[in-house]
Structure 1
Amino acid sequence: MRGEPDFFQNLQDELSDGRAWLDRTVVLGYAILAGLCVVLFTLLSETAFEWFMHLHAAAPWVVLVWTPALTAFIVWCTRSYFPGAAGSGIPQVMTALDPLLPRDSRHRFVSLRLTFAKIVLGSLSLLGGLSAGREGPSVQVAAGVMHDARRWLRPGSVMSERALLVAGGAAGIAAAFNAPLAGVVFAIEELSNKLEARNNGLIIAAIVLAGLVSISAFGNLTYFGSIEVPRLDWGAILPGVLVTVICGVLGGLFSRLLTASLAGMPDRFSAFRKRFPVRFAAACGLMVAIIGLVSGGATFGAGAEEVRNMLAGESDISRLYVLLKFVATWITSWSGVPGGIFAPSLSIGAGVGHDVAQIVAGSNASALAPALIAMGMAAFLAATTQAPLTSFIIVMEMIDGRPMVLSLMAAAMLASLISRLISRPLYSTLSHIMMRPLRGDVNAAQGGTDPSPLAGAPAPTPPADR
């Protein structure tokens, strides 16, 4: 029978291991740096979008030239110098965590160089008014910073490269949304099947520390403020289920469309994108600009301001907003610019909740609208990412919606289930596509074949094809 722990002996052993404490200090120091990088990214992207909106207000038709030109420039820079910075950034981090990835290839997906590129090019995407967010890219930004900590850690340190990447990616979510709990759940649900017992405390400490850096910069405020949650009776069930089902179907279709587009469909548009990616990007920018003008500017950017207006009951968006934002976000992602879909997905889901409240709730619309909008955000994000736990916790922390925990959880779970009937998980599928060429090399060296379900899918366009 083992004796009780010897407190003083354990304390002495802990304090005497100076190298272990140095490793912990390095990791936590890099967590602070990761949080600062996300804060910088936030400030740059918000400033960039403000400048774009000033341009749009002063001369609306100028965006028909500005947005396509800047989109083409961003894609040219990305493909020429920073191919690993394209898109959301979450699939890149998942690829870097793949155990089959050769270690010397990890820098192609996470590094300080890509962190810098993601911050600058992601901010330029919002300067062009594209329908993209900074939250997903913040995962790659923070992961690149945390991964650099490995050079200062001793061989055999409890913080492996994998642990650093998990901590960094989750810290990016925590700092971007000012939601540390969401960061922890994201680490478990998306980036790792489980946290290793020997270092989970340090990983969580790094996530929380990065979140605290964001709180220190922007205050302990929720992303969308606090909403007044009405007393939900049986009359709210039908509108809530309707919002959830619509978001589940739309989110599943959105995920499937994004996967097919980014993988390369056998159609003329995909062929043109492969042959002339910069020209294709310019055409995508033009389409986003046209959609933005048609919507009165509502579809430009991530959509956070529109969500705030909806929650406050001050929105006058068109009933076509959901469709227009859906298309603008898809085209933006298809263009190949660095940019995420978290915030646009939240705005699409909010639009669904807002519309259902206006159409179904009738005289009770103003009271039910905030709850239905929140459910729509959680449901659409869960359907798109198929990460229901992360989705409902993000929304709960963004709106201070603890009274709606069960409603948000149910909406996210049901929408994710519906989405799984339509589409594969978005980020893991995109990560698999990124891994296919590298996995093929590994399997060829081992005399095996690629067992994946996407073995017949077209490979992504190589970086050299500009």
Structure 2
Amino acid sequence: MQQPDFVTALRRDLADWRQWVGRVVVLAYAAGAGLAVVAFTWLSEQALGGFFALRSWSPWLPLVWVPACTASLVWLTRRFAPGASGSGIPQVMAALSPMVDRERCSLFVSLRLSMAKILLTAGGLLGGLAIGREGPSVQIAAGVMQHAGRWLPERSAINHHGLLVAGGAAGIAAAFNAPLAGVMFAIEELSRKLEERNSGLIVAAIVLAGLMAVSAYGNASYFGEIHVGLLSWHYLLPGLLVVLGCGLTGGLFSRLLHTSMVGGQDYFSRLKHRHPIRFAAACGLVVAVVGLVSDGATFGSGYGYTRRLVEGHMDMPMLYVTLRLVATWLAVWSGVPGGIFAPSLAIGAGIGNDMALLAGMHEGSAPLIAIGMAAFLAAVTQAPLTAFIIVMEMVDGHAMVLSLMTGALGANLISRWISVPLYSALAQAQLCRLDAAPVQRESAAA
């Protein structure tokens, strides 16, 4: 194969103005997607702070406030933005399906849905629900990126599929301040491979969105840093038990979420179908009761407790893992917009902490907590490489890299024996909405 002539190749590349206009548009929208996630992060933090301020004013107020917020959010979602319900990742995956044309893509991803997702998810955190903002960030950023398509020149090499992949991955990169995790998420969940001709631009867009988060919050990891020294063989058995526990629990939790969200012919599924607002209020009431039992530990995404565990504070409420599982499950089942990434990391950290206490490792719990976070997130999402990278960027110590990778892959294997991949299954359920709404013109207005 003959090597290219530098001058000729440069001249040919610069002469293609469509290519350069497309690159500028994509990168500008990538920066906008990153800033949208930064704004969403700020609003979510303010909303969660507002809930805890209300709770400090009256500890019994959540018994009224949480069910009222849950019912209101479900009504608003069903009335004005049904495509904004749930995590948001299944919607982006559904929009990438060959079954979905450009006209109907707005059922799942659009600028209008991104705005609704920001407000509704923040409302859920204001209501104290055990939801995360990371999955919604995927749909928000994808909605911003797909809007770039209207400004691309004709016959541009950048297609709609590439914009959605770049946007979804940019959401993860900006939400976790981890561009590498965004790139892996694009490959592992959204697209099994990146198009060779656009892969460099897609990666650049993902990294740029992550840089927006860095510029706003500094080069700090999402939950702080886990300081790990040299690992000894004493961690082998507890670490294996953490992986086994996270794999089994995460697989069962994923199966429970899928069964609850897809629905069936059982009594509770029929009740949710007939009376969705009342059902949401009932879920909110139970979430409030669980929150009171846990002394507030299960309210919100779990960020505060996870960060305390990472920093070495092991004072968790009794049955924290079980209560947070119940609170997260009911919040998701109610139908409010919200994700499961942060709650899953909190549950995994709790499992690792419990195992460290059982093993008597009061001073060396950090490795087991890190393994638990990676393993449980991998088991629930069945995206082990993304889970491993998210936690890896928190760890200050190369000794944990292989342990985290092994834990994530092991828990993912166990989970696959129990449950189908959660996001793929929910994406298939999302595609059923195509029959109810064959054509939407929302994209023209968004």
- Which TM-score bucket, shorter chain as reference? over 0.9
1:177–1:398 CA contact under 8 A, matched in 2: no
The residue aligned with 2:86 is 87
| Residue identity matched to 1:41 | F
Aligned-pair CA distance for 1:439: 7.4
Q: Work out the CA distance in 1 between the residues paired with 2:227 and 2:284.
A: 38
* Structure 1 match to 2:389: 393
Aligned positions of 1:28-427 closer than 5 A: 28-360=27-359, 362=360, 364-367=361-364, 369-400=365-396, 402-427=398-423
Whole-Å separation in 1 of the counterparts to 2:208 and 2:399? 26
- The question of whether the paired residues in 1 share the 8 Å contact of 2:229 and 2:397 is answered with no
**Quick one: distance in 1 between partners of 2:432 and 2:284?**
29
1:88 and 1:341 in contact (8 A); partners too:
yes
8 Å CA contact 1:306–1:315 kept in 2: the answer is no
In structure 2, what is the Cα distance between the partners aligned to 1:399 and 1:78? 38
- Offset at residue 403 of structure 1 (A): 3.3
**Runs of 5+ unmatched residues, structure 1:** 443-466
Q: Distance in 2 between matches of 1:399 and 1:122?
A: 29
The 1-side partners of 2:423 and 2:156 are apart by 29
Aligned partners of 2:196 and 2:121: how far apart in 1?
35
Deviation at 1:324, TM superposition (A): 0.3
Read off the aligned partner of 1:355 and give its amino acid letter: D
| 1:402–1:172 Cα change, 3 Å | farther
Q: How many residues align?
A: 438
8 Å Cα contact 1:170-1:184 kept in structure 2: yes
Q: Which moved more, 1:244-253 or 1:97-106?
A: 97-106
User: 1: distance between equivalents of 2:264 and 2:303?
Assistant: 31
Shift of 1:235: 1.1
State whether residues 170 and 183 of structure 1, in contact with CA within 8 Å, keep that contact through their aligned partners in structure 2. Answer: yes
* Letter of the 1:278 counterpart: I
Runs of 4+ in 1 over 6 A off after TM superposition: 439-442
Pair 1:280–1:441, CA change in 2 (3 A): closer
Give 1:433's match in structure 2, choosing from 429, 432, 438. Answer: 429
C-alpha displacement at 1:266, in angstroms? 2.0
> How far apart in 2 are the matches of 1:415 and 1:345?
13
- State how far apart, in whole Å, the 1-side matches of 2:354 and 2:93 are: 35
User: 2:378 and 2:414 mapped to 1: Cα distance?
Assistant: 10
After alignment, is 280-289 or 417-426 more displaced?
Answer: 280-289
- 1:441–1:106 distance in 2 versus 1, CA, 3 Å: closer
Residue identity opposite 1:414 in structure 2 = G
SS at match of 1:324: helix
Cα deviation, 1:133-172, whole Å, max 9, x if unaligned, reads 0001000000000000000112321110000000000000
Unaligned runs of 5+ in 2: 439-446
Q: One-letter code of the match for 2:434?
A: L
- Give the distance between the partners of 1:135 and 1:18, measured in 2 at CA: 36
Q: How far is 1:440 from its partner?
A: 10
**Structure 1: distance between partners of 2:92 and 2:55:** 35
**Structure 1 position 227, deviation (Å):** 1.7
Relative distance call for 1:245 and 1:439 in structure 2 (3 A) is farther
Q: Do the aligned partners of 1:177 and 1:223 also contact (CA within 8 Å) in 2?
A: yes
Residue 20 of structure 1 and its aligned partner are, at CA, apart by: 1.3
2:7 aligned with 1:16: no
Deviations 1:212-263 (A, max 9, x none): 0000000011112222213211111000000000000010001000000011
**Structure 2 length-normalised TM:** 0.96
Q: CA RMSD in A?
A: 1.4
Is the CA contact 2:225–2:310 (under 8 Å) kept in the aligned structure 1?
no
1:112-151: CA deviation from partner (whole Å, max 9, x where unpaired): 0000000000000000000000001000000000000000
Q: CA separation in 1, counterparts of 2:33 and 2:187?
A: 19
Q: Given residue 393 of structure 2, which amino acid in structure 1 is its aligned partner?
A: E
Contact persistence 2:352–2:372 (CA under 8 A): yes
The separation in 1 between residues aligned to 2:258 and 2:273, in whole angstroms, is 15
Deviations 1:366-392 (A, max 9, x none): 21x111000000000000000000000
Quote the Cα distance in structure 2 between the aligned partners of 1:53 and 1:258.
27
CA-CA distance at 1:365 after TM superposition = 2.8
- Code of the residue aligned with 1:14 in structure 2: it is D
Q: State the secondary structure of the residue aligned to 1:366.
A: coil
> Which range moved further: 401-410 or 28-37?
401-410
* Residue 439 to residue 187, structure 1, CA distance change in 2 (3 Å): farther
Amino acid at match of 1:46: E
Q: Secondary structure at the match of 1:60?
A: coil
